Structure 1
Amino acid sequence: MIRPLYQLKAEFFKTLGHPVRIRVLELLSEREHAVSEMLPEVGIEMASLSQQLAVLRRAGLVVTRKEGSAVYYSLTSPQVAELLRVARQILTGVLAGQMELLDDLRTPADPTPARGRAKGGSTSSGG
């Protein structure tokens, strides 16, 4: 049975739903990396990194090549890097909107009702 595209998309985004996997993809967006180069960047143990890399490999997002005893990872498509750039742009817009809302909330409300203000800015009673 063929799964609907929306279900495949959901599974794809689930694959991206782990901070370590996102960080790995960000690193690989810059250039190919050996596993040993990624370890200090992601801050987890080798076994955990290997698990996350295996998930990305099974999803078809990364490929490997061996050089001596080192295993190098790279993205399967530059569109993965583009997806991360677009996500960053979306988040930047969302956070900018939230900052505007926060600024609005921090601005003290004008306690004087608009109808009660004197014209021309003067508050004298003529006396």
Structure 2
Amino acid sequence: MSVPLYEAKAEFFRMPGHPVRIRVLELLQDGPLPVRELPAAVEVEPSRLSQQLAVPRRSGIVTSTREGSTVVHAPAGGDVADLMKAARRILTGLTAGRNELLTELREAEVTAR
């Protein structure tokens, strides 16, 4: 039985639904990183990072390869970086709209006095 596309999309968008996972995806936009560099960059304990990395690895959007004794994580494709950039653009637009509304509200309050 196939899953409706809207359900598959909902499941996909739940995957990055944690700040640690989002931060890792942002860091990986610039290229693969050894796992030893991630805890300091994300500011979490290695065990917590490992738990959070398991989710995007299982979903297939992050890959892990071993280079000698080092495990290196990378985005599975450029679309992951595009998704993070799109989220930033959307949030920037939303924030700008809120700031404009706040400015208008403050100006109206001053005028009403």
Say yes or no: TM over 0.5: yes
Correspondence 1:32-43 to 2 at 5 A: 32-43=32-43
Query: C-alpha displacement at 1:40, in angstroms?
Result: 0.5
> Quick one: distance in 2 between partners of 1:49 and 1:110?
52
- Report the residue type matching 1:27 in the other structure: L
Matched residues, number:
111
Question: TM-score, normalization: structure 1?
Answer: 0.84
Q: Percent identity?
A: 50
Query: C-alpha displacement at 1:109, in angstroms?
Result: 2.0
Structure that is richer in helix per residue:
2
> Structure 2 regions of 5+ residues with no counterpart?
none
Partner residue, 2:81: 81
Partner residue, 1:59: 59
- Runs of 4+ in structure 1 off by over 3 angstroms are none
Partner residue, 2:91: 91
> Quick one: distance in 1 between partners of 2:24 and 2:10?
20
**Structure of larger gyration radius:** 1
User: Once the two structures are superposed, what CA deviation does each residue of 1:43-73 show, in whole Å capped at 9, x if it has no partner?
Assistant: 1111111111111100111111111211000
Partner residue, 1:14: 14
Partner residue, 2:105: 105
User: Once the two structures are superposed, what CA deviation does each residue of 1:61-112 show, in whole Å capped at 9, x if it has no partner?
Assistant: 111111121100001010110011011001101000000011111111256x
Q: CA RMSD in A?
A: 1.0
Partner residue, 1:24: 24
- Considering Cα pairs closer than 8 Å and 6+ residues apart, tell me whether 1 or 2 has the greater RCO: 2
> Quick one: distance in 1 between partners of 2:68 and 2:50?
18
